Amino acid sequence: SRLAADLRIALDTDQLTLLYQPIVTMPGGALFGVEALLRWHHPERGPIGPDVFIPAAERTGLIVPLGAWVLEQACRQAVTWRAELGPAAPATVSVNVSARQLREARFAEDVAAVLGRTGLPPEVLTVEVTETAVFDGGTALTELRAIAALGVKIALDDFGTGHSSLSLLRSCPADVLKVDKSFVDDITDGGPQAVVVAALIGICEGLGLRAVAEGVETAEQAAELQRLGYRYAQGFHYGRPMPAGEIADYRPAAD
Ligand code: G
Ligand code: G
Ligand code: NA
Ligand code: MN
C-alpha cells in the first residue's frame, strides 16, 4: 500500500520520533519510568498515529525493521539519561512490541544484540506485549522466556482487553501488569470496572507482579486507585507523551 511504501521511506529519513510518557509512583507522582511511543510526521499528510500505521507495518512485515529501530533508539536514550541524570534517570524504559515481532524467531537475539551494543543493563528495559500477542502461539512464549532470562522485564499491556487468562500469568514470565485504561475510566462510578481494578491489584500482589494503572486522567481516579492499593500509574493526569529532552524537567504536577 501507499502507506506502507511511505513508511519504508520514513524509516530511512527522519520522519519517525519517539515520545516518552512518564510512569509514576503514587502517592506523589514521582517519575519511576517511561514508555516509548512512536510518532510519524508524514511530509504531506502531517502526523499519523501508530494506531493507523502499526497495523499497516504488521501486515507488510515492516514492523520488524521498524520495531528494531524503536528498540535501538529507546535503549540509546535510556543510556543517555543514565549518563546525564544519574539516579534521577528513569528506572525503566518500556518499549511496545507487536505480535508479529514476537513471532520472529530472532527477536530475543536482536534484543540481546541491542543491549550489547548500547551497554544498557537488561533490567532497565521493559518489553510491553499484549495478551493477544502472547496467545498468538508460535515462538512468542519462547522468545519472551529468552529475554526474561537476559534480565529484561516483561509487561502485559492493555491487560483485561484480550483473552485475559490467569494461566497466562503463570506460563508467561511477566513482571508488570498494565491495567487497561478502559477499566480505569469508570472506577469512580462504582461500576463493574471498579471490581475488576480492585481484583487485579490483589492478583498482582499475590503473584508478585507490579500493577500499573493506565490512562489515569483525573485526581479522583488517582485517589481511588491509591485507596485500592495501586502504587504505579500512567496517564494524562501525570504526564503526556513528551520529547526525550523534557523528561529531565518532569516534576509531579499532582498526586
Ligand atoms: O501513543 P498512542 O496512544 O497513539 O499509541 C497507540 C497504539 O500504538 C498503542 O496501542 C501503542 O501501544 C501502539 N504503539 C505506540 N508506539 C509503538 C511502537 O513503538 N511499537 C508498537 N508495536 N506499537 C506502538
Ligand atoms: O496500548 P498502549 O497502552 O501502549 O497505548 C498507550 C497509548 O495510550 C499512548 O498512545 C498514549 O498516548 C495513550 N494514553 C496514555 N495515557 C492516556 C490517558 O490518560 N488518556 C488517553 N486518552 N490516552 C492515553
Ligand atoms: Na503500551
Ligand atoms: Mn496499554
Please work out whether the CB of residue 162 comes within 6 Å of at least one atom of ligand 1. Answer: no
Q: 46-48 and 30-42: which strand pairing?
A: antiparallel
CA distance 35 to 92: 8
Query: Probe ligand 2: pick from 214, 216, 220, 238, max atoms within 8 Å of CB?
Result: 214
CA distance 63 to 215: 25
Query: Which pLDDT tens digit goes with each residue over 3-19?
Result: 999 999 999 998 999 99
Is the ipTM higher than 0.85? The answer is yes
The answer, as to whether pTM is greater than 0.95, is yes
Residue 95 confidence (pLDDT): 98
